[in-house]
Amino acid sequence: MVSRRTALLVGLGAIVAACTGRSPSAALGSPSPSAASDTTPTASSVATPACVATPAETEGPYFVDERLNRSDITTDSSTGSKRNGVPLDLTFQVARVSSSGCTSLGGAQVDVWHCDAAGVYSDVAAQSTVGQRFLRGYQLTGADGVARFATIYPGWYAGRTVHIHFKVRTYTGATKTYEFSSQLFFDDALTDAVYKAAPYSSRPTRDTRNQTDMVYTSNGNSGSVLLVKAAPSGAGYAATFAIGLNF
């Protein structure tokens, strides 16, 4: 489990008056995937929104460093089969924050993983999915700090509210220089609406909502600033989540 670090979560659509924060310690670890092994983060000026201090969330037990460089994570890379569910286009805007403002963080590796509509994670022995690789993948942010993923609205499993895990890592050559892990959450009313349709509707009513979730309510109800605002888009939803890291 990755230790909690302080980060700055960039709020969307507001104008900053000031940005202050605390620098978390850099995380050193294993070599990066080959696609990112020679990547050094770059920065360019971006619009500066309001900055709100928030802690990282737990990595959880189901992270597997698959090193799958892909934006469409709906398929199982081992079989080519597609996971069914309501489409979700998820865009991350990653920025580095300092006392002088926010700049886009290019070359950062953003990993995403979450369960399917049935509440199952891939490549997990406890769920008999070892060797399967669905709903997992990473992208490197461009010079604009953007990384995009095509996925599905996540399902639920006992004891947890609906969520998506993500991790941001930076490298200098083959050396990992920073790592941040957290989780995204969804408005309960939106989830209720999504779950009225198949394949979600075939399951019992979920047993945990945001305000009874152990992660969402930890650290002063920190999940409230990790809510994804998803808007209807085509047959599904689209969401953009902006995050700023102070390191």
Q: pLDDT tens across 186-233, in order?
A: 999 999 999 999 999 999 999 999 999 999 999 889 999 899 999 999
Say if residues 179 and 2 touch (Cβ distance below 8 Å).
Answer: yes
Residue-wise pLDDT for 9-60, tens only, equals: 333 332 222 233 333 322 323 333 334 334 445 554 444 445 544 458 999 9
- The mean pLDDT value for 228-246 works out to 93
The DSSP bridge partners found for residue 115 are none
Which of 170, 159, 169 lies closest to 217 in space, CA to CA?
Answer: 159
* pLDDT at residue 5 greater than cutoff 60: no
Contact residues for 192 (Cβ-Cβ < 8 A; gap 6+): none
- The mean pLDDT value for 76-90 works out to 96
Domains and CATH numbers, the chain: 6-245 (2.60.130.10)
pTM confidence score: 0.81
CA 21 to chain centre: 21
- The mean pLDDT value for 139-164 works out to 97
The DSSP bridge partners found for residue 237 are 88, 232
For residue 96, name the pLDDT band (cuts at 50, 70, 90): confident
For residue 98, name the pLDDT band (cuts at 50, 70, 90): confident
Which of 91, 90, 95, 89 lies closest to 10 in space, CA to CA?
Answer: 95
C-alpha pair distances (Å), 11 with each of 69, 151, 229: 27, 23, 11
* pLDDT at residue 66 greater than cutoff 90: yes
Q: What pLDDT does 55 receive?
A: 59
Residue-wise pLDDT for 109-149, tens only, equals: 999 999 999 999 999 999 999 999 999 999 999 999 999 99
* pLDDT at residue 76 greater than cutoff 60: yes
